[in-house]
Amino acid sequence: MEAAGRLRLDTLPRLQAAGEAEVQLRASDDGSGRAIVQGRVKAQLTLTCQRCLGPVARALTTEFKLVWVRSDAQAAALPPEPYEPLLSASGRVQVSELLEDELLLALPIAAVHATAEECSGLGQRPALRHVETPANPFAVLGAGRRDR
């Protein structure tokens, strides 16, 4: 199954960024019965400067390849490469949380303006938004979904 779409970053509460990401996801079988989730996220983020609390624009692209495991024991038994475990006892994965984790991993440790001119202190912290969890995990991606 493949899905592609756009994700509003202000729907990810832990990320604390505004902006939008282009997301491609693909779920497949690796041939040995393992479920693989691969993805690519290209994001234009507006982060909060840690010095002046103003908006800082950043672009980043991250790719990941995860293998679904039901338990820590199963994760420990994986071959070391190229598998990164995605732990879910139920087999259900919250796609928005998965993408949020990957973006958090790819982010700079602390966002600050590059120059004193940009770092004005005039910015305001973007408001966080709460969004209901969709019943269909891929629905978070909006338009563009297709099944294979």
Binding site for Zn ion (CB under 5 A): 49, 51-52, 54, 113, 119
Given the complex with Zn ion, which of 26 and 51 has the nearer CB atom? 51
CB of 18 to Zn ion, least distance (A): 15
Given the complex with Zn ion, which of 120 and 133 has the nearer CB atom? 120
- Bond from prior residue into 82 cis (ω within 30 degrees of 0): yes
Spatial distance between the Cα atoms of 20 and 40, rounded to a whole number of angstroms: 14
Count the helices and strands in the chain (H runs, E runs): 2, 5
CB of 16 to Zn ion, least distance (A): 15
Which is nearest to 1 in space by CA: 77, 90, 95? 95
Given the complex with Zn ion, which of 49 and 66 has the nearer CB atom? 49
CB of 95 to Zn ion, least distance (A): 32
